[in-house]
């Protein structure tokens, strides 16, 4: 049973939305919204939401429970969860179901405000722009609310979500187990151009597990590095290609990553996703800016300008690449958002370097864009 304790979300402009609290935990952070109809656990464990107050527009949440299978990181990094109807414990139904959403939120110590008109929250943010908010009990004193609202939004969130140590992952066979034969060929020193597993050096800025799984399923061997790794450390493992992951926050807040990418340009094929896309743009001299309310959901249409094809994509970002700043740079826009025309993909005009703003691995969302991993592998094989 959930705790019927009244609570409220207070935005920094003074707007208040009422609901019920799952626990007495307070929360503060940037309030953002996601328009997906499913995938709440994947969103809760996506490191790109680190310290944000995640609001879901779809009103029915928790009806298929939670399961280890859907985890996108080792834990949830969200600052708080704001939803409409929370499915009661014991009433979720799915063959994967292991724990109720309420149990998951308590275990992960995620503050949750439910019974909220989340579509009203979304409409307000769309009109006024993303802003800070706090989750507190209904009877919280004003002094406590003022103190929480005064807490600055943390800037160095990449450092909070990145891996602390270098680790490796072997390719996966069709049955999801390690493809021993491919791994042995790689260990014997035969490179990707000779049919062995492409060796990818992944810079982890807050990578989702399904990105890693997607590359493993494509036959890649991965070495995953912390965000602070140097170009020398990355190149020392002699990778066939370099992957720049998704992650939270403003790309301007991680200048060290930009300098590392600059040093890696021209050394190996490079593929970036989301924050990796923005960092790559900055490394090549382009600018990034904050969107009014961002793109978060699994129903974002993206047009591939090379083919004219439109695919539905999964997205989670609050910043974008300034297209005007690409003028005069060796970069060409390859994908655009059909809704607002923002840059969703680009490639280098001379080097095997490219990136996309969205999530081709989905989780949650469609898998229309898995072909991008095939393009990366083709680049690593020199095709």
Contacts of 280 (CB under 8 A, 6+ apart): 244, 261, 270, 272, 353, 355
323 within 8 A of 334, measured Cβ to Cβ:
no
13 within 8 A of 128, measured Cβ to Cβ:
yes
Is 361 catalytic? The answer is yes
Which of the residues 112, 199, 274, 347 is marked catalytic?
274
Is 274 catalytic? The answer is yes
Measure Cα distances from 104 to 68, 80, 327, 365 in Å: 10, 13, 47, 21
Distance CA(331)–CA(53), nearest Å, equals: 34
How are the residues of the chain apportioned to helix, strand and coil, as percentages rounded to the nearest 5? 25, 30, 45
Q: Which residue has the tokens 């080097």?
A: 351
Distance CA(247)–CA(205), nearest Å, equals: 5
Task: Give the dihedral sign, CA 59/63/69/71.
Answer: positive
**3: nearest Cα among 18, 27, 16, 21:** 21
Contacts of 383 (CB under 8 A, 6+ apart): none
Is 112 catalytic? The answer is no
Q: Which residues are catalytic?
A: 274, 359, 361
């Amino acid at each position: 049973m959930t705790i019927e304790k009244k609570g409220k979300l207070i935005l920094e402009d003074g707007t208040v939305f009422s609901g019920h609290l799952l626990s007495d935990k307070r929360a503060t952070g940037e309030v953002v919204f996601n328009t997906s109809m499913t995938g709440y656990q994947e969103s809760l464990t996506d490191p790109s939401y680190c310290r944000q107050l995640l609001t879901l527009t779809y009103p029915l949440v928790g009806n298929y429970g939670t399961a280890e299978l859907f985890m996108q990181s080792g834990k949830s990094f969200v600052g708080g969860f704001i939803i409409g109807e929370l499915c009661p414990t014991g009433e979720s139904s799915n063959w994967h179901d292991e724990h109720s959403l309420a149990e998951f939120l308590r275990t992960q110590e995620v503050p949750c405000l439910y019974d909220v008109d989340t579509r009203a929250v979304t409409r307000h943010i769309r009109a006024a722009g993303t802003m800070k908010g706090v989750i507190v009990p209904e009877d919280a004193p004003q002094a406590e609310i003022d103190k929480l609202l005064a807490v600055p939004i943390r800037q160095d969130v990449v450092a909070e979500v990145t891996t602390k140590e270098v680790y490796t992952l072997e390719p996966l066979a069709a049955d999801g187990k390690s493809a021993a034969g491919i791994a042995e060929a790689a260990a014997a020193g035969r490179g990707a151009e000779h049919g062995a597993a492409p060796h990818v050096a992944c810079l982890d800025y807050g990578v989702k597990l399904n990105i890693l799984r997607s590359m493993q399923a494509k036959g890649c061997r991965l070495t995953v590095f912390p965000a602070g790794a140097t170009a020398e450390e990355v190149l020392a493992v002699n990778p066939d290609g370099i992957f720049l992951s998704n992650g939270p926050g403003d790309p301007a807040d991680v200048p060290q990553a930009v300098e590392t990418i600059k040093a890696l340009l021209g050394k190996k094929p490079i593929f970036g996703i989301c924050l990796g896309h923005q960092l790559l743009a900055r490394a090549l001299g382009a600018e990034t800016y904050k969107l009014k309310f961002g793109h978060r959901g699994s129903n974002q249409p993206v047009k591939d300008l090379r083919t004219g094809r439109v695919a539905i994509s999964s997205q989670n970002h609050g910043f974008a690449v300034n297209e005007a700043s690409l003028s005069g740079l060796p970069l060409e826009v390859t994908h655009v958002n059909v809704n607002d025309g923002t840059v969703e993909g680009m490639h280098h005009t001379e080097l095997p370097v490219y990136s996309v703003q969205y999530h081709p691995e989905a989780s949650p969302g469609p898998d229309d864009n898995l072909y991008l991993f095939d393009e990366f592998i083709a680049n690593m094989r020199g095709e």
